[in-house]
Amino acid sequence: MTTPRRILDLIRHGQPGETVTVRGWVRTRRDQKEFSFVEVNDGSSMAGLQALVTDVAAEALQRVNTGASVEISGELVESPAKGQRIELKAFTLQVFGEADPETYPLQKKRHSFEFLRTIAHLRSRTNTLGAVFRVRNACATAVHHFFQERGFLWVHTPLITASDAEGAGELFTVTSLDLNNPPRTKEGAIDFGQDFFGKRAFLTVSGQLEAEIMALAFTDVYTFGPTFRAENSNTSRHLAEFWMIEPEMAFCDLDGNMTLAEDFLKYVFSYVLKHCPEDMEFFNQRIDNSVMETADNIIHNQFERITYTEAIALLEKASKSFEYPVSWGLDLQSEHERYLAEDLFKKPVIVTDYPKTIKAFYMRQNDDGKTVRAMDVLAPRIGEIIGGSQREERLDCLEQRIDELHIPKDTLWWYLELRRFGTVPHAGFGLGFERLVQFMTGMQNIRDVIPFPRTPQNAEF
């Protein structure tokens, strides 16, 4: 037997006359009089390899149905069929595992994404989810290439933390206490002092605060890891567990931050177009016919930059009627964000200088006393895809803000010390990785761009 090769490799480089072995899962079997066509897919590409199986393997062929796992050896031949350069003339066929046609849920027909979510252990074998996870892989690779090429250090920040970085209170508690009989304080509250970490701990909502520590030693750093939010939002853009990319740069202000965010998105889009052309074409044809245009638009146009105050003025002037009110001081809702990016500017919009009351404690305060040097990147179809800011590097200003918000200072002593010892202007942002993959692929629901989504009432698989 020859060493098995991946199907993508054969489709790209296989030559008629070569003897090869492939392994994978059967998508279809079509029987003709003298032989059968068996289409095999191993996940390496959208297209599978068509094998022509004659009675050399008649017995094994009986056990080959959609979903079965097989190994086929044979000779590559030019394919007379349309749309494929080569096919495989089988010499041998081995079945690893059968798939009963009566019960295997992925028979060749269209399935709704809702249904596919209920079989997340099998859905990656479909064309769409296969394409999604290959594009997701390419996005992740592009992220590392982008930052590594620019000399950023990839830092690993903890998933368990004692502080609420965003101050939004959307935290999952991590505990090893006996929940049926937790220790109590004199006042009757649960005594987290006796818990595993000696204090109450949570799953992190963001690696930013620790990334700031690392940026103040390595200048330019980024994190790329899972984050957790116990926000009870059942929307097509929220997950309870999602991946976030958070660059953090010392000696950098909001302008540098915006430029990085824009360069970054352009780079990732270009990379994915280059490395997953078939998958991107598939999304454009089958999922959303603006996918290619969007990618082109991202790569070739400058993002719009406006302040929050300007954004409010534009929204107040809009002829569109919104469900949620618009007025200075209120947060932008997703409908507002989409109006700006999708209808008005028709490209990503970076909104800066939000009211301090709707943003986190660590953002640098502007001289007007009302706004902070925040930025959100709003994308067509998605709304907020990136949130970031210049950080408050002045100790007195930071302490004053923490006090105003009644944030317990004892959990943040180290964060404050960074402002005491060698503080510098610095900035960074967080990109929601799944929102990026959604944006890129045109997939409607964020649950379909992560293999095993975690959402309210759902932690199956």
Residues that bind ligand 4AD (CB under 6 A): 165-166, 206, 208, 229, 231, 238-239, 242, 244, 246, 384-389, 428-430, 432, 434-435
Q: Of the two residues 74 and 428, which places its CB atom closer to ligand 4AD in the complex?
A: 428
Smallest Cα–Cα separation from 363: which of 351, 378, 350, 353?
353
Min dist CB 169 to ligand 4AD, Å, is 12
In the complex with ligand 4AD, which residue's Cβ is closer, 48 or 428?
428
Of 233 and 458, the one with the shorter C-beta distance to Mg ion is 233
Of Mg ion, ligand 4AD, none, which one sits near residue 339, judging by CB under 5 to 8 A according to partner kind?
A: none
Binding mask 336-375 for Mg ion (x = CB under 5 A): ----------------------------------------
* Residue closer to ligand 4AD (CB basis): 95 or 209: 209
Between 73 and 389, name the residue whose CB sits nearer to Mg ion: 389
- Burial, 406: exposed, middle or buried (Cβ in 10 Å; 0-12, 13-18, 19+)? exposed
Q: Residue 5 or residue 229: which is nearer to Mg ion going by CB? A: 229
CB count, 10 Å around CB of 34? 8
Spacing of C-alpha 154 from chain mean position = 17
Footprint (CB under 5 A) of Mg ion, residues 372-431: 387
Q: Least distance in Å: CB of 387 to Mg ion?
A: 3
Task: Give the one entry of ligand 4AD, Mg ion, none that residue 435 binds, where binding means its C-beta sits below a cut-off of 5 to 8 angstroms depending on kind.
Answer: ligand 4AD
How far apart CA 374 and CA 343 sit, in angstroms, is 23
Closest separation in Å from C-beta 436 to ligand 4AD: 8
Q: Give me the sheet containing 160-161, strands edge to edge.
A: 160-161, 201-203, 173-174
CB 151, min distance to ligand 4AD, A: 19
Greatest CA span in the chain, whole angstroms? 84
Nearest alpha carbon to residue 72 among 24, 106, 131, 112: 24
What is the smallest separation between the CB atom of 166 and ligand 4AD, expressed in angstroms?
5
Query: Facing residues of 76 across strands?
Result: 88
Write down the least CB distance from residue 311 to ligand 4AD, Å.
16
Helices (H), 14-75: 58-61
User: What DSSP element (H or E) covers 211?
Assistant: helix 208-218
3-class DSSP string for 13-28: HCCCCCEEEEEEEEEE
**Minimum CB distance to ligand 4AD smaller for 7 or for 450:** 450
State the Cα–Cα distance between residues 38 and 263, nearest whole angstrom. Answer: 45
Nearest distance from C-beta of residue 23 to ligand 4AD, angstroms: 35
